[in-house]
Structure 1
Amino acid sequence: MDRAQLAGFLRTRREALQPEDVGLPRGRRRRTGGLRREEVAALSDMSTDYYSRLEQQRGPHPSEQLLAALARGLRLTLAERDHLFQLAGYAVPHRAVRADHVNPGMMRILDRLQDTPAQVVNHLGETLTQTAPAVALLGDETRYSGLARSLHHRWFTDPATRLRHPDEDHPIHSRLIAAHLHAAYARDGRGSRAAAIVDALLAASPEFAELWREHPVQGAYCPPKRFRHPEVGDLELHCQTLVDPDESQMLLVFTAAPGSESYEKLQLLSVIGDQRV
């Protein structure tokens, strides 16, 4: 690990970021042109002291998970992310699809949606980051590890995942999720993470196995979805989707018709989300 180079790289990227780039107000008293250390630490879900020690060349050897969080917090490109890993002494493996790194452009859009339920999801159904209202609506979907990171896997193996939707809607969700996973498998092929999820589900879920044999195909239209929230009740929401050019991740934004009961409930959830955070 090259502490001096790592510290210099973190400092230059922090100073290059402007508050507006990450959805923060500039404020009248700001003297520095870039972000403050405490702001980068908050964006990366770590303590200010830990991040400061990295910039001062006296911190511990960061883990790969921590480096991935820094890459997201600093809005690094894939090339910059790989460089960060190399400076920290990690080999950068070849990745056919960079499904675990949020595109900086996606992050810039998400930063401007902090009062809206929105999240970035990769093609494997893994949620990479969420706004606070999205956590209030769906729960923290970034907390899982292993195969459970994938909504596709949780839907067919964890009954609690289905509690957010009315029972009568479960069959259509099952078919849509199976179709989405089928598209990911067709894209990535044997030996991929998508294939590992498919193999696990074929062994664990007769429902999935039956759907898989039908070769479901994902449609272009996404109809309104009904959600069942434990605190505000039922909502009917539209899910607007922005797909990254390489189609490895999507920005999902949940909206309701203005003036509707669901719209009022979304406003309440935004308040709940802020209080929980």
Structure 2
Amino acid sequence: MSNVDRELLEHFLRARHDEVGGDHAGPVMTRIVERLSDYPAMVFSRCGEVLLQTRPAIVLFGDYTRFGGTSRYLVDRWFADPAARERYLVEVGVTGHWHLRRYRHADLGELELCRQLLVDPVEHQMLLVFMAVPGSPSDEKLRRLTVAGD
């Protein structure tokens, strides 16, 4: 089965019963994301509720923040919304480089991206950022995505 990111989905499923935190990104995560406006970046609660997204993340994953209830949760949208599995970014494998993962997007095609997950243990929130190798075809696709969003 293709998946958006198996590790994240499994983590959020395990954490679901133990939810702590609010429905807004903390001030530190918010400031970090504001400075990452050219990159796909998302802030999650500890159990996968999407609290904040950059514009490139909305294009790649869909806009989770405009919904309420369980539709804001990565796991729920992934399993309940077929468009989330077909239209948006889906991890399809790893590359020969340990830090790159291979993804498929319906409009952009194949992307090779570095995925970095940062955890704020105080706010119980996670920041997920995707970046491409500078000058690579994937980097150019992300740059076009950012320009198209303006």
TM-score band w.r.t. shorter chain? 0.7 to 0.9
1:98 aligned onto 2:37: no
**Identity, % of aligned pairs?**
50
1:233 deviation in Å?
A: 2.2
Offset from partner CA, 1:7-50 (integer Å, 9 cap, x none):
xxxxxxxxxxxxxxxxxxxxxxxxxxxxxxxxxxxxxxxxxxxx
1:27 is matched with: none
**Larger relative contact order, structure 1 or 2 (CA cutoff 8 Å, min sep 6):** 2
Give the TM-score normalised by structure 2: 0.73
In 2, the alpha carbon distance for the partners of 1:118 and 1:108 equals 12
**Contact in 1 for aligned 2:60/2:89 (Cα 8 Å):** no
Q: Deviations over 1:213-248 (max 9, x none)?
A: xxxxxxxx9862403142x32212121111112362
The answer to whether the 8 Å contact 2:48/2:74 transfers is yes
Q: Give the superposed CA RMSD.
A: 2.4
More helix by percentage: 1
Given residue 101 of structure 2, which amino acid in structure 1 is its aligned partner? P
Match of 2:36, SS state, is coil
Give the equivalent residue in structure 2 for 1:128. 51
Pairing 1:265–2:141 present: yes
* Letter matched to residue 147 of structure 1: T
Residue pair 1:135, 1:273 contacting (<8 A) in 2 also: no
Q: What is the match of residue 4 of structure 2? A: none
When the two structures are aligned, how many residues end up with a matched partner? 127
Letter in 2 for 1:152: V
1:237 corresponding residue in structure 2: 113
Residue 165 and residue 253 in structure 1: after superposition, are their counterparts in 2 closer, same or farther (change >3 A)? Answer: closer
Whole-angstrom CA distance in 1 between matches of 2:82 and 2:60: 18
The alpha-carbon distance between structure 1 residues 162 and 120, as it changes in their structure 2 partners (threshold 3 A), is: same
> Which consecutive residues of structure 2, in runs of 5 or more, have no partner in the other structure?
1-18
Q: Which of 228, 232, 237 is equivalent to 2:105? A: 228
Task: Give the direction of change, closer, same or farther, for the CA distance of 1:101–1:270 in structure 2 (3 Å limit).
Answer: same
